[in-house]
Amino acid sequence: MKTLALLPPTETMYRALVNRDSSFEGIFFVGVRTTGIFCRPTCAAKKPARENVDFFASSSEAVESGYRP
């Protein structure tokens, strides 16, 4: 079940990812299409281009969509 409607706007989430904003920790997860992994908003990895990310409300949603931790 997708709960994207309950999440902040996608541009806000992407900005939080780029800035590694810890205030968004536990609110959403980010799936990176080019690598197939998902991560928290504070992830220290190189930041993906906006068109390569999907946002999820939980890690289980990311896994169900085919992403791995």
**Residues carrying an active site annotation:** 39
Report residue 10: phi and psi, to 5°: -60, -35
Distances (CA, A) of 19 to 2, 5, 34, 53, 68: 25, 23, 20, 15, 23
